[in-house]
């Protein structure tokens, strides 16, 4: 007999025979329906305890089965085994895992009224004094969202483009040396240098210029943050209140340096803006936009809110974009025909130019953008989203109490045949085709930037960086992967990054 979770999984895939089984057992839905199944009138939802999941140990639960660096792979594997909704335990904490993309979309769209980010994220962020719009909730989120979104307006990105061009030109010069010498490079670290330069310039107008110097101390300070944040946000209890690991002490020291740097720029920028007539000031960077912006009540952000949003911008901006660019290069070295087609597009659009001259040129890279979309589908750097309901809810016929930890397995649906034909194949053309009826192309199953009211505000900046950088690479270089003793691996550290990814460049 099918268990309840397997029944729901088969229902979502439209198997007619199992639809009848599910109806017989009490679920109601319409043929082809994609949303959460509803229950018949007068039928109570099942308790959380009826969900399947991996067996654990007393007290520890499933802790010993979980490697935090492979958390997303473990949860995706359990979803294959136990279905699209299951439960597991982190010591005494019950976690509900959900991988059905339609249910995930519903949850994301029902924020902030019904769901919020996992409360542990807000608590840990508050301890670090790094809570910006990413971790804020309720009315506080709505206020900060209104203010921070103003920084990502198209006109602000256009004003920033000359700085992006300058940074990309430095990258080209640096990589030309690598190409001339045949040097093997750790591509993830190279992209981190690039995105730190871009993000610090966009965030507070500071030219840190890691691409032209070997001192990467600021980058190393940033890199220490997310692994510790990830560990604490997923910990079953706040162990760091009693004992701190060496990596955590190092991270806290680095965070102090980051805060000191940020606050210095805040003071300088406040002073500079005070010398100008406010009505004539056009924000030149994210920090200026935060300082000048006002909410609907005419109020600005507090110093702590500004600090939190700058930290969020630095971490979210450099980390996720660098990892996406790294995965993109990995995929095109595995598929030379795709790399060649990107080079052809760069040649056709840019002509004799070695870099895109303006944003109008960037908008013409349709195939490069499709490659980026396919990379985000297969190698989403946000494969997991941490949520919880702010009131008792029902999901797929299961009663979920208020405050229950939810892990949304965000990438799983994008790798299923019912959502994308040839789901495990790297085929950028799928994003350019008028999809035939015989092919599956469910855009809602690939949500690397989230969905609903809390859709990532930095999406346009990230795509601008990616298209600009890849146009430069494809116009000037060919990229080949270098085999190492260890295979390229997916490592989860709040975001998902490649490990052991080494490449060589050849000038075109």
The per-residue pLDDT for range 311-347, each reduced to its tens digit, is 877 777 778 999 999 999 999 999 999 999 999 999 9
pLDDT score at 290? 79
> 46 CB contacts (<8 Å, ≥6 apart)?
4, 397, 398, 399
Cross-sheet strand order for the sheet of 93-98: 85-90, 93-98, 405-409, 384-389, 115-117
pLDDT score at 341? 98
Distances (CA, A) of 328 to 310, 368, 381: 27, 10, 11
Which contiguous run of DSSP H or E holds residue 385? strand 384-389
Tokens standing for residue 426: 């790297």
Range of lowest pLDDT (19-28, 192-201, 320-329, 404-413): 19-28
Q: Is there a contact between 388 and 404 (Cβ–Cβ < 8 Å)?
A: yes
The per-residue pLDDT for range 369-421, each reduced to its tens digit, is 999 999 999 999 999 999 999 999 999 999 999 999 999 999 999 999 999 99
**How far is residue 143's CA from residue 299's CA, in Å, rounded to a whole number?**
9
Q: Is there a contact between 270 and 97 (Cβ–Cβ < 8 Å)?
A: no
Tokens standing for residue 53: 């999941």
**How far is residue 312's CA from residue 154's CA, in Å, rounded to a whole number?**
20
Phi, psi values for residue 395, rounded to 5°: -125, 115
Q: Is there a contact between 288 and 306 (Cβ–Cβ < 8 Å)?
A: no
Neighbours of 455 (CB within 10 A): 12
pLDDT score at 481? 96
pLDDT score at 487? 93
Q: Is there a contact between 66 and 91 (Cβ–Cβ < 8 Å)?
A: no
pLDDT score at 1? 35
Tokens standing for residue 79: 């979803």
Cross-sheet strand order for the sheet of 477-482: 185-186, 502-507, 477-482
**How far is residue 399's CA from residue 219's CA, in Å, rounded to a whole number?**
45
DSSP string, 96-135: EEE--HHHHHHHHHTTTTTEEE-HHHHHHHHHHT---TTT
Distances (CA, A) of 188 to 27, 173, 399, 440, 501: 48, 18, 43, 32, 7
pLDDT score at 278? 59
Closest CA to 476 of 117, 181, 180, 231: 180
CA atoms within 13 A on the CB side of 261: 21
Q: Which residue has the higher pLDDT, 3 or 64?
A: 64
Q: Which CATH number fits domain 138-507: 3.90.190.20, 3.30.230.70, 1.10.630.10, 2.60.15.10?
A: 1.10.630.10
The per-residue pLDDT for range 142-169, each reduced to its tens digit, is 767 766 777 777 888 888 899 999 999 9
The per-residue pLDDT for range 262-308, each reduced to its tens digit, is 888 888 888 888 887 655 667 777 788 778 876 556 667 778 878 88
Strands 398-400 and 489-493: unpaired
Q: Is there a contact between 309 and 202 (Cβ–Cβ < 8 Å)?
A: no
**How far is residue 353's CA from residue 361's CA, in Å, rounded to a whole number?**
11
**3 state DSSP class of 116:** strand
Residues 436-445 have a mean pLDDT of 83
Tokens standing for residue 381: 């750097």
pLDDT score at 441? 92
Q: Which residue has the higher pLDDT, 52 or 2?
A: 52
- Output 16-21 pairs: Cβ under 8 A, ≥24 positions apart: none
pLDDT score at 26? 41
**How far is residue 371's CA from residue 328's CA, in Å, rounded to a whole number?**
8
Q: Is there a contact between 97 and 409 (Cβ–Cβ < 8 Å)?
A: yes
Place of tokens 């550290």: 493
Which contiguous run of DSSP H or E holds residue 474? helix 459-476
**How far is residue 323's CA from residue 482's CA, in Å, rounded to a whole number?**
18
pLDDT score at 36? 59
pLDDT score at 6? 37
Residues 122-136 have a mean pLDDT of 74
Q: Over 60: is that where the pLDDT of 56 sits?
A: yes
Distances (CA, A) of 22 to 35, 46, 416: 15, 14, 22
pLDDT score at 25? 38
Establish whether the linkage from the previous residue to 112 is cis, with ω within 30° of 0: yes
Q: Where are the domains of the chain?
A: 138-507
Angle at 437 between CA 435 and CA 438, to 5 degrees: 100
Percent above pLDDT 90 for the chain: 51
pLDDT score at 11? 35
Q: Over 90: is that where the pLDDT of 128 sits?
A: no
Q: Over 50: is that where the pLDDT of 220 sits?
A: yes
Q: Over 80: is that where the pLDDT of 359 sits?
A: yes
Q: Is there a contact between 108 and 283 (Cβ–Cβ < 8 Å)?
A: no
pLDDT score at 311? 81
CA atoms within 13 A on the CB side of 145: 15
Tokens standing for residue 505: 């460049």
Q: Which residue has the higher pLDDT, 2 or 89?
A: 89
Res. 15 pLDDT band, cuts 50 70 90: very low
Average pLDDT, the chain: 85
**How far is residue 390's CA from residue 65's CA, in Å, rounded to a whole number?**
29
pLDDT score at 134? 66
Q: Over 50: is that where the pLDDT of 119 sits?
A: yes
Range of lowest pLDDT (268-282, 342-356, 494-508): 268-282
Closest CA to 110 of 183, 14, 211, 36: 36
Residues 239-253 have a mean pLDDT of 89
Res. 4 pLDDT band, cuts 50 70 90: very low
**How far is residue 368's CA from residue 176's CA, in Å, rounded to a whole number?**
21
């Amino acid at each position: 007999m099918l268990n309840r979770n397997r029944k729901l999984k088969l229902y979502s895939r439209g198997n007619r025979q199992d639809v009848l089984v599910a109806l017989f057992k009490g679920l109601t839905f319409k043929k082809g329906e994609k949303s959460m199944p509803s229950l018949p009138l007068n039928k109570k939802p099942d308790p959380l305890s009826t969900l399947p999941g991996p067996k654990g140990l007393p007290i520890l639960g499933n802790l010993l089965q979980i490697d935090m660096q492979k958390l997303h792979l473990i949860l995706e594997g359990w979803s294959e085994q136990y279905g699209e909704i299951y439960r597991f335990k982190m010591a005494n904490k019950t976690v509900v895992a959900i991988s059905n993309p339609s249910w995930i979309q519903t949850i994301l769209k029902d924020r902030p009224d019904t769901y919020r980010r996992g409360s542990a994220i807000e608590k840990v962020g508050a301890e670090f004094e790094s809570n910006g719009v990413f971790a804020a909730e309720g009315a506080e989120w709505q206020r900060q969202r209104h203010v921070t979104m103003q920084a990502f307006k198209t006109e602000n990105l256009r004003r920033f483009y000359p700085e992006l061009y300058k940074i990309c030109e430095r990258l080209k010069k640096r990589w030309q040396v690598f190409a001339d010498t045949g040097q093997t490079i750790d591509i993830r670290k190279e992209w981190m240098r690039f995105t730190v330069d871009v993000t610090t310039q966009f965030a507070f107008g500071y030219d840190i210029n890691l691409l032209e110097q070997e001192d990467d101390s600021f980058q190393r300070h940033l890199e220490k943050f997310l692994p510790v944040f990830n560990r604490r946000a997923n910990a079953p209890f706040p162990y760091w209140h009693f004992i701190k690991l060496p990596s955590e002490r190092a991270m806290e020291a680095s965070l102090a340096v980051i805060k000191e740097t940020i606050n210095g720029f805040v003071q300088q920028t406040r002073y500079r803006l005070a010398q100008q007539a406010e009505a004539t000031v056009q924000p030149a960077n994210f920090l200026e936009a935060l300082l000048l912006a006002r909410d609907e009540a005419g109020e600005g952000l507090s110093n702590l809110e500004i600090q939190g949003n700058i930290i969020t911008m630095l971490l979210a901006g450099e980390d996720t974009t660098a990892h996406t660019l790294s995965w993109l290069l990995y995929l095109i070295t595995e598929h030379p025909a795709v790399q060649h087609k990107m080079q052809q597009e760069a040649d056709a659009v840019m002509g004799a130019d070695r870099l895109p001259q303006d944003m109008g040129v960037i908008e013409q890279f349709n195939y490069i953008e499709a490659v980026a979309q396919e990379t985000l589908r297969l190698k989403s750097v946000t494969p997991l989203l941490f949520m919880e309901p702010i009131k008792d809810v029902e999901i797929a016929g299961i009663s979920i109490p208020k405050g229950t930890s939810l892990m949304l397995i965000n990438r799983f649906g994008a790798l299923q045949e019912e959502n994308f034909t040839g789901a495990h194949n790297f085929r950028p053309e799928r994003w350019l085709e008028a999809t035939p009826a015989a092919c599956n192309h469910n855009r809602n199953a690939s949500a690397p930037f989230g969905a609903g009211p809390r859709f990532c505000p930095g999406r346009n900046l990230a795509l601008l960086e990616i298209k600009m950088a890849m146009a430069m690479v494809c116009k000037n270089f060919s990229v080949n992967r270098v085999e190492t003793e260890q295979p390229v691996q997916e490592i989860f550290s709040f975001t998902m990054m490649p490990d052991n990814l080494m490449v060589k460049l050849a000038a075109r």
